Amino acid sequence: MPTKTTATHTEDATLFREFEHTGDLGIELAAPTRGELFRRAAIALASLLVERASVSAIEEREIRVEAEADLDLMHDLLTELLSLFMVEGFIWHDASVTEADRSLCVTLVGEPFEPTRHEFRGEIKAVTYHQLTVENSPVGWRARIIFDI
């Protein structure tokens, strides 16, 4: 399958890779820690939705999720973030993660979405469980996520 690195900033050059999936959009992420993996997933979603370079750090929002497994935490976090964008119109430029065993608190820094200032990249309808993986390996944390577009 063809892959490509997607980045809006030089610092994001290796943040995530997109891959083609029939009728959907997939990404793969890697990080040295569990918290960093979730942070990168949050930033990757924002990058798929808009050109993040145009997003200012005007306000903070906090998202809390709790689940028994990391797989469910990833799904639920990204679903909450997608809802924050689609329902409340908030887009973030950066994120930080505070983690506990079964919960995450993600602090987002961004602003309300403005179509005249923010380049919308495309609609994402949902985060799927199809081929969703979150795993800790000897070389670090990895995730594979497929979005319904």
Per-residue pLDDT reduced to its tens digit, 83-101: 999 999 999 999 999 998 8
* CA atoms within a 13 Å half-sphere pointing along the CA-CB vector of 74: 31
The string of pLDDT tens digits covering residues 111-134 is 999 999 999 998 999 999 999 999
4-45: pLDDT as tens digits = 333 334 445 466 665 565 668 999 999 999 999 999 999 999
Q: Note the pTM of the prediction, 2 decimals.
A: 0.86
Q: State the virtual CA torsion across 69, 125, 57, 18 in degrees, nearest 10.
A: 70
Helices (H), the chain: 34-49, 70-88
**How far is residue 75's CA from residue 81's CA, in Å, rounded to a whole number?**
10
Separation between Cα atoms, residue 115 and residue 81, nearest integer Å: 18
